[in-house]
Structure 1
Amino acid sequence: MNLYGDTRSGNCYKIKLLSSLLDLRLVWIGIDIMAGDTREEDFLGRNPNGKIPLLELDDGRFLAESNAILHYLAEGSDWLPTDRFESAKVLQWQYFEQYSHEPYIAVARFINLYLGLPDDKRAEYEAKQASGHRALEVMERQLVSTPFLIGLHPTIADISLYAYTHVAHEGGFDLSGYPGIRAWLARIAALPGYQAMGED
């Protein structure tokens, strides 16, 4: 399978990390979003929404949206619970990631890392901080009670939230006040098959 992505993107990293943990072989096809690669007609023919990551299956079909790709790759593995309630909890955390976490932590990181924190974006960057910390506080409350977001074992919910949380400092978020999150980050990084962001 081919994975179209940007090495600095947390959403793309989710897929690389899970594939490494599952020992799946994906062919990486680099996409430069700042150069406009996702707006090229060739790419839009693959994903009309013009976003990465994008997974190309062996049969030529395409699957977009990072959390949907995680579900596809994790099907039948320990990373996706079969218990009905736990499966719903995975989705709960993934919706949380998309609506309460990423819009603040990932966007602040994008403004700083990709755009270089220009003056005309500083107010937007600073406005992301309070809501980003509220999302981190929600995670902290869970992670002081259980080693992983769903309980005793890691799931793709952890992958979804690990991607941008472990680089939250690049968006101005200091994690020193979140011991539960920091311990969780260390547990993820210690998993067999772990791959750091940016590694091939």
Structure 2
Amino acid sequence: MKLYGMTGSGNCWKVATLMDQLALPYQWVEVNILQGQSRTPEFLVRNPNGRVPLLELESGQFLAESNAMLVYLSEGTPLLPQDRYARAKVMEWLFFEQYSHEPYIATVRFWVHLLGEAELRRERINEAMPRGYAALGVMEAQLARSPFICECGYTVADIALCAYTQVAHQGGYDLGNYPLVRAWLQRVWSQPGLVPMQ
């Protein structure tokens, strides 16, 4: 398999981390989105949405969207429960990550850390950050109930939410008021084959 991604992207980190944890062999293909490399005609044939990560399967088929890749790759492993309800809870948190967490935490980090546009985008950052903190609050409440995001144990939901939570500080977020989230990050980082983002 080939994983097209950009170093420093949390969404790309998710997929590479899962593949490493499952000992799935793959080739990493660096795609610099800041230089428009995901918008070339060649890349758009593979993913019309022009984004990374993009997974090329051994069959030659392509799969976009990081959380779809997590589900596909973890099928039949303990990281994606077979029990119908437990599986749905994992999906619930994957949707939460993409709808309530990533748009505010990852986007602010992108503006501040990767683009260096903190002042230029100050108004939009000020609008986004309360929503990012709200998502962290939801996670804090959930982690008071169980050591991992889902009560069934460590799953791809933890990988998905770890991706940008671990680098939230790069966007200016302060995790000081979220001790359970900080402790959870340590538990996720301690999983075999997982290398935290820097």
Partner of 2:121: helix, strand, or coil? Answer: helix
Find the counterpart in structure 1 of residue 20 from structure 2.
20
Partner of 1:38: helix, strand, or coil? Answer: coil
| CA–CA distance in structure 2, aligned partners of residues 60 and 197 of structure 1 | 29
4+ runs deviating over 4 angstroms = none
Question: Do the aligned partners of 1:7 and 1:197 also contact (CA within 8 Å) in 2?
Answer: no
Find the counterpart in structure 1 of residue 158 from structure 2.
158
Question: Do the aligned partners of 2:86 and 2:152 also contact (CA within 8 Å) in 1?
Answer: no
| CA–CA distance in structure 1, aligned partners of residues 67 and 154 of structure 2 | 15
Give, in angstroms, the shift of residue 69 of structure 1: 0.3
Answering whether residue 125 of structure 2 is matched by residue 125 of structure 1, we say yes
Letter in 2 for 1:109: R
Find the counterpart in structure 2 of residue 191 from structure 1.
191
Find the counterpart in structure 1 of residue 98 from structure 2.
98
Find the counterpart in structure 2 of residue 33 from structure 1.
33
Give, in angstroms, the shift of residue 119 of structure 1: 3.0
Letter in 2 for 1:133: Y
| CA–CA distance in structure 2, aligned partners of residues 20 and 195 of structure 1 | 9
Deviations 1:122-142 (Å, cap 9, x if unpaired)? 211222111100000000001
Letter in 1 for 2:149: L
**1:66-105 to 2 correspondences below 5 Å:** 66-105=66-105
State the TM-score, normalized to the length of structure 1: 0.96
Deviations 1:11-36 (Å, cap 9, x if unpaired)? 00000111111111110000000000
Letter in 2 for 1:28: W
Question: Do the aligned partners of 2:109 and 2:168 also contact (CA within 8 Å) in 1?
Answer: yes
Give the paired residue count. Answer: 198
Give, in angstroms, the shift of residue 152 of structure 1: 4.8
**1:172-187 to 2 correspondences below 5 Å:** 172-187=172-187
Give, in angstroms, the shift of residue 193 of structure 1: 1.1
State the TM-score, normalized to the length of structure 2: 0.97
Structure 2: state its 5+ residue gaps: none
| CA–CA distance in structure 1, aligned partners of residues 133 and 70 of structure 2 | 25
| CA–CA distance in structure 1, aligned partners of residues 55 and 130 of structure 2 | 34
| CA–CA distance in structure 1, aligned partners of residues 103 and 109 of structure 2 | 10
Letter in 1 for 2:134: R
Structure 1: state its 5+ residue gaps: none
| CA–CA distance in structure 1, aligned partners of residues 54 and 2 of structure 2 | 8
Deviations 1:69-125 (Å, cap 9, x if unpaired)? 001110110000001001000111011111110110000000001110253212112
Answering whether residue 143 of structure 2 is matched by residue 143 of structure 1, we say yes
Change (3 A) 1:11 1:125: same
| CA–CA distance in structure 1, aligned partners of residues 15 and 142 of structure 2 | 24
